[in-house]
Amino acid sequence: MTHLKYSLLIQWSDEDDCFLVGFPAFLGQQWRSRGSTYELAMANGIEALDSLIIAYEATGESLPEPTICEAA
């Protein structure tokens, strides 16, 4: 699955009182999803990433290259 190659950033926000989810490879809006728990943020983030990929594909826009880490 292509979406599993993309990094999700999950960070607590005191201001929003929830976990925010972002995708560093996709420029633009910093935060794309949220959740009241870490688990919910992860689930919502995966759903948001799937929707984001579908939107890119529907418009013919090229997906950004995912950042791949090399094991030490």
Residues 49-67: tens digit of each pLDDT: 999 999 999 999 999 988 8
**pLDDT-derived band of residue 29, with 50, 70 and 90 as boundaries?**
confident
pLDDT at 5: 86
Give the C-alpha distances (Å, rounded to integers) separating 29 from 43, 65, 72: 19, 17, 32
pLDDT at 60: 96
Residues 13-24: tens digit of each pLDDT: 999 999 999 999
In the chain, % of residues over pLDDT 70:
93
Domain boundaries, given as residue ranges, for the chain: 2-59
